[in-house]
Amino acid sequence: MKKRTKFLGLFGAILIAVASLGFFWSNNSKYFEIAKNIELFANLYKEINTYYVDEIEPSKFMRIGVDAMVSSLDPYTNYISEAQIEDFRFVQEGKYHGIGIESRKIGDYFTVTELFKDQPADKAGLKVGDQIIAIDGKDAKGKSEEDIEEILRGFPGTEVILQIRRPGKNEDFKVKIIREDVKVENVPHHDIIAENIGYVSLTTFTRDAGSNVAKAIKDLKDKNPNLKGIVFDLRGNGGGLLLEAINVTNIFIPKNELVATTKGRVKDWDRSFRTLNNPVDTDIPVVVLINNRSASASEIVAGAIQDYDRGVLIGQRSFGKGLVQNTRDIGYNAKVKMTTAKYYIPSGRCIQAVEYENGEPVDIPDEKRTPFKTRNGRQVFDGGGVSPDILIDRDGSSNLLRQLERSNIIFDYVTQYCAGKESVGELMSLKFNDFKSFLDFVEMQNFQYNTKTEKLLKELEDQSEKDGYAMKATLDNIKKEMVKTKRAELMKYEDTITDIIEKEIAGRYFYQEGAVKIGLRNDIEIKEAIRLLNDPSRYKELLK
């Protein structure tokens, strides 16, 4: 009864606020519509919470409505609840209060997918592949991501007890972890990868990304006075802070050069961002690696370097996120992150994707995109991401590989492979030579690799039954042939899948840095970058 009285009191306060809005805005039809719809929304919310046949959790019910509203706008506008503030803080600062893991739901439970070195979970002995069965004695089965985060993250010094199910162990066990201020490096690795050629990896544009990349490059130059090129890796970097994108660009671009312009509905918020500091190096040849998961701030940096003809881009077309988000407080420690502007890079182009399918940008051919010019007069295009100067299709268009990733097949195989192995020897000696066991694992998992042919075959099977045709035996034979074909297609991608498996294994024992290092060994984009940096005439020709 108290719960309902409290709810009705809150609802009364909402109505008073709405009535006030209606009073002040009645002369403005737009604001009257806003006030009217807020009142309708509040009335609907009250009536359902009061009279619906089953008890409703008000906060969860409201969250469904709020998420539906903001998701109708674009993929990047969203509501950030109090429980998600630590996630928001991580994106902003590269640190948060918690235990230092990445996890995702695989089956009924959340599974540890990455451990951050020397952070609480790592020190407590957790491993990648561990399933979280219970938290502080409460069953974790079927919990949402928000539920898990709300419990795992908390003030430094507090403890959380996890019940863990580990592949290869017969019984579940408990682990006590003391929460800390978790910090994740945004430059996990930099090194010399070939004679006088340096490499720097940037994984996210959190705070100090610019200064950390600058330190890495200065370190490489100090140790190698004859450094003749830098490979700057932005693959898989989903972006972050706009100001850090400006700072990273400033490492290679002179002071007072335009990097990005933002334009939105509120003209007073439109801004131009220029480099503010002296660069680290404006002359050393640079190759920037991008792929279809390089987004937002990564695209600003890659696009600006391309627009100023400062370096050569290698890889695949980037994701295509040319939108700027700002956050606004909405009370009760919650925020709304909303798209407020589009950004434009130095040539004047906006790289925002204009078409989406299932939440993923649709590839737009160049002939349908507007052309722009770089400083040297090279033609570049807007819409749908930044196109590399040298395109390398690392099987990125393979439907098979995408479905393997989405189905967690490789992750689960490596979890089984590593079960009971305390070590795998020296990092750079790591080799995976048992592809047959992977193929067997895929078949045992009944991996559903749905091709267009299979969809058509299913339609034919359904229709033939309706029409009374006896085609079952024929269709079964076709299905058996398709199973053989799928195994052959897996064999076709053996090298690529082996690389992914080796990186996944390295990450289990040597953390993020180990995965980066082992990935460099067979990386075709790295090899192409080294070839280009060793061929100055070709490098210059590409930038003409």
Q: What percent of the chain has pLDDT over 70?
A: 87
Per DSSP, the chain holds a count of helices (H) and strands (E) of 17, 23
pTM exceeds cut of 0.75: yes
Confidence check: pLDDT of 4 > 50: no
How confident is the model over 416-441, as a mean pLDDT?
93
HEC-encoded secondary structure of 41-100: HHHHHHHHHHHCCCCCCHHHHHHHHHHHHHHCCCCCCEEECHHHHHHHHHHHHCEEEECC
Close Cβ partners of 222 (under 8 Å, ≥ 6 residues apart): none
Catalytic residue among 208, 307, 382, 523: 307
**pLDDT category of residue 448 using cuts at 50, 70 and 90:** low
Calculate mean pLDDT across residues 304-320.
96
Residues 150 and 93: their CA atoms lie apart, in Å, by: 19
Q: Is the pLDDT of residue 303 over 80?
A: yes
pLDDT more than 90, % of the chain: 51
Residue 193 contacts residue 199 (beta carbons within 8 Å):
yes
189-391 topology per CATH: 2-enoyl-CoA Hydratase; Chain A, domain 1 (3.90.226)
- The answer to whether residue 296 is catalytic is yes
Q: How far apart are CA 417 and CA 242, in angstroms?
A: 40
The token pair at 96 is 């948060």
What is the C-alpha to C-alpha distance for residues 64 and 76, in angstroms, rounded to an integer?
A: 17
User: Do 248 and 205 form a contact (C-beta atoms < 8 A)?
Assistant: yes
CATH topology of domain 95-183: Pdz3 Domain (2.30.42)
Kindly list the distances between the CA atom of residue 103 and the CA atoms of 36, 57, 109, in Å, as whole numbers in the listed order.
42, 26, 10
Q: What residues does each domain of the chain span?
A: 2-56, 95-183, 189-391, 399-521
Q: Is a pLDDT exceeding 60 seen at residue 142?
A: yes
Catalytic-role residue among 296, 298, 347, 387? 296
Please compute the mean of the pLDDT values over residues 224-247 and round it to a whole number. 94
What is the arithmetic mean of pLDDT over 168-178?
94
Mean pLDDT of the 288-313 span: 96
Choosing from 127, 143, 321, 337, the catalytic residue is 321
pLDDT confidence band for 522 (50 / 70 / 90) = confident
Banded pLDDT at 330 (limits 50, 70, 90): confident
Q: Rounded to 5 degrees, what angle do the CA atoms 66, 70, 73 make?
A: 160
Q: Which residue has the higher pLDDT, 355 or 92?
A: 355
pLDDT tops 70 at residue 397: no
| pLDDT at residue 231 tops 80 | yes
Write out pLDDT tens, residues 185-202: 899 999 999 999 999 999
Among 180-194, 375-389, 404-418, 479-493, the minimum mean pLDDT is found in: 479-493
Q: Which two tokens stand for residue 504?
A: 């996944």
Q: Which residue has the higher pLDDT, 101 or 183?
A: 101
| The pLDDT of residue 396 | 55
pLDDT at 363 over 80: no
Model confidence at 1, pLDDT cuts 50, 70, 90, reads very low
Q: What is the mean pLDDT of the segment spanning 36-42? A: 86
